[in-house]
Amino acid sequence: MDLQKEMRLRRLNKFFVYLVLVLLTLICLFPFYLLIVNSSRAHSEVQKGFSATFGSFFLPNLRNVMSNKELPVLKGIVNSFVIAGSSAVLATYFSTLTAFSVYVYEYKLKKFVFTFILLIMMIPNQVYALGFIRWMNQLGLMDSHLPLIIPSVASPIVFYFMLSYMQSNLPLAMIEAARIDGASEFRIFNQMVLPIMKPAIAVQAIFTFVGSWNNYFIPSLIIRSADKKTLPILIAQLRSADYLKFDMGQVYMLIFLAIIPILVIYIFLSKYIVRGVAMGSVKE
C-alpha cells in the first residue's frame, strides 16, 4: 500500500519534470517557429493576422530583401562572414601561442603575465569605447573593418581556455623530445602543438565566430558607409526605419538570414559547443 503510494508519487514527480522541460522547450522554440512561418508569408498575409502554417512566399521574400536598395543585405552577409571568420582565426592562433608561452617557458614575467591576463579578462570593451573610437579616428581606421578584426589577437578568455586545455592534454616531455630531435620552437608550435590543440581550437573558433557575428556595439560606432555594414547594423537600421511602411516579409527574412548561419553551425556541432561551455568554467 505504502509502496504503491510512493510509486504513484514518483510517477507524478516525473510527469511534472517532463512537463516543465517540454514547456521550456516550447518557449525557446516558439519565437523561431513564428519567425520561419512569417518569413515564408507575403507582407499582405502577415498583415492579415497570425497563422500557424507556412506560406509560399519564402523565395520572393528572399529575392526582395537581397535586392533591396536601401539595405545592402548581401554585402552585409559577406562583411559579417569575413570579419567573424578572420576574428576566429586570429583569436585562436594567437591566444594558443600566448598560452603556449606561459605553459612551456620559464621566464621572469611569466607569473605576472598570467595574473595580468586573468585580471583584464572581464573588462568589457564598452568602458573604453570612447578612447577606442577616438584613437581609431586618429589612426585613420574609422569606417574600416580592421578595428573589428585585429583586437581578436588579444583574447584573454580564449587564452585562459587554451591554457587549461594544455595543462591536461599537452605533456611537456613531448616538447622536450621534439627539441632533442632538433625542431625549432616555432615549428614545434605549428606542427606539433596546434594539431594536439585542435578540439579546443574548434570550440573557441566557434565561440569567437559567433561573438563577432553577433557583435553590434563597437561596429555601430566604427562603420559609416553602407557597403561596409554588418548584419546587426542593418537590423538596427531596419528597426529605426518607418516600421509601418516596411515590407514585413522582408523584415522577417532579414532576421532569418542573420541567425540561420549560426543555427546551422549549432545543429551540427551542438555536442561540442555544449561541452565547451561546461569546460570553460570548471576545471577539475
- Give residues 220-239 in contact with other proteins (rule: CB under 8 A): 221, 231-232, 235-236, 238-239
Count of alpha carbons within 13 angstroms of residue 79, beta-carbon side: 24
Q: Does residue 119 interact with other proteins by CB under 8 A?
A: yes
Residue 190: CB atoms within 10 A of its CB come to 14
Q: Which of 1, 69, 244, 245 binds other proteins (CB under 8 A)?
A: 244
Contact 209, 84 (CB under 8 A): yes
C-alpha–C-alpha distance, residues 228 and 173, integer Å: 48
Query: Which x/- pattern over 18-37 shows residues binding other proteins (rule: CB under 8 A)?
Result: x-xx--xx-xxx-x--xx--
Q: Does residue 202 interact with other proteins by CB under 8 A?
A: no
Q: Does residue 1 interact with other proteins by CB under 8 A?
A: no
SS3 172: helix
Give residues 52-71 in contact with other proteins (rule: CB under 8 A): none
Distances (CA, A) of 31 to 10, 237, 256: 33, 21, 11
C-alpha–C-alpha distance, residues 269 and 112, integer Å: 36
Specify the residue, 54 or 217, whose C-beta has the smaller distance to other proteins: 217
Q: Does residue 101 interact with other proteins by CB under 8 A?
A: yes
Minimum gap (Å) between residue 114 Cβ and other proteins: 9
Specify the residue, 176 or 227, whose C-beta has the smaller distance to other proteins: 176
Q: Does residue 14 interact with other proteins by CB under 8 A?
A: yes
Specify the residue, 226 or 269, whose C-beta has the smaller distance to other proteins: 269
Residues present in the chain in total: 284
Q: Does residue 218 interact with other proteins by CB under 8 A?
A: no
Extract the C-alpha cell encoding 224. Answer: 559609416
Minimum gap (Å) between residue 37 Cβ and other proteins: 9
Q: Does residue 134 interact with other proteins by CB under 8 A?
A: yes
Residue count, binding to other proteins (CB under 8 A): 93
Q: Which of 42, 66, 77, 154 binds other proteins (CB under 8 A)?
A: 154
Q: Does residue 81 interact with other proteins by CB under 8 A?
A: no
C-alpha–C-alpha distance, residues 181 and 161, integer Å: 29
Q: Does residue 106 interact with other proteins by CB under 8 A?
A: yes
Residue 100: CB atoms within 10 A of its CB come to 21
C-alpha–C-alpha distance, residues 167 and 69, integer Å: 52
**Cell numbers 588579444 label which residue?**
154
C-alpha–C-alpha distance, residues 138 and 221, integer Å: 15
Q: Does residue 194 interact with other proteins by CB under 8 A?
A: no
Q: Does residue 190 interact with other proteins by CB under 8 A?
A: no
Give residues 250-269 in contact with other proteins (rule: CB under 8 A): 251-252, 255, 258-259, 262-263, 266
Interacting stretch for other proteins, rule CB under 8 A, among 60-68, 69-77, 121-129, 195-203? Answer: 121-129
Max CA pair span of the chain: 82
Q: Does residue 159 interact with other proteins by CB under 8 A?
A: yes
Dihedral sign for Cα atoms in the order 176, 177, 182, 188: negative
Residue 266: which of 225, 206, 208 has the closest Cα? 206
Q: Which of 89, 104, 194, 226 binds other proteins (CB under 8 A)?
A: 104
Minimum gap (Å) between residue 272 Cβ and other proteins: 11
